[in-house]
Amino acid sequence: MAYDPNNVFAKILRGEIPCKKVYESEYALAFHDVNPKAPVHVLVIPKAPFVSIADFSVGATPDEVTGFFRAVGETVKLLGVEEDGFRTIANTGFNGGQEVPHFHIHILAGRALGPMVMKQIV
């Protein structure tokens, strides 16, 4: 799938849409999800244009990979959720329920989040 430069996160990166920023580095931006699914719900996105984690793992430079995952760690620290715990999710593609086609990791925290998948459907 080709990267769509008009996706909402690309617009946030270009400053065309505002966001509630948590952390920013040369390689990544972290901001609050506009429709939170937990008391803490933050998204971390790489600044480089990748559709998905699969795409990112193949196409990103070593510096971009390191920079992105360090940013996830820094964001978790800033949010103060490391001790109580948190969940990271990277929805990918149609079956993964990905809505925005710019790679992002969700950080969910602030309460016990329960089982990862609510209902066994296999």
What do you get for the CA distance between the two ends of the chain, in Å?
A: 27
**b (16+ CB within 10 A) / e for 82-104:** eeeebeeeeeeeeeeebebbbbb
| Residue 28 DSSP one-character state | E
Choose, by CB under 6 A, the member of 15, 62, 85, 97 that binds ligand AMP. Answer: 97
Give yes or no for residue 6 binding ligand AMP (CB under 6 A).
no
Q: x-or-dash pattern for ligand AMP, window 51-90, by CB under 6 A?
A: ----------------------------------------
Question: What residues from 15 to 54 belong to the interface with ligand AMP (CB under 6 A)?
Answer: 17, 19, 33-35, 43
Q: Compare residues 44 and 60 and give the one whose CB is closer to ligand AMP.
A: 44
| Residue 73 DSSP one-character state | H
Give the Cα-Cα-Cα angle 99, 45, 89 (nearest 5 degrees): 60
Q: Cβ 118 to ligand AMP, closest distance in Å?
A: 16
- Beta bridge pairs of residue 24: 29
- Residue ranges that bind ligand AMP, judged by CB under 6 A: 8, 17, 19, 33-35, 43, 91, 97-100
Residues serving a catalytic function are 104
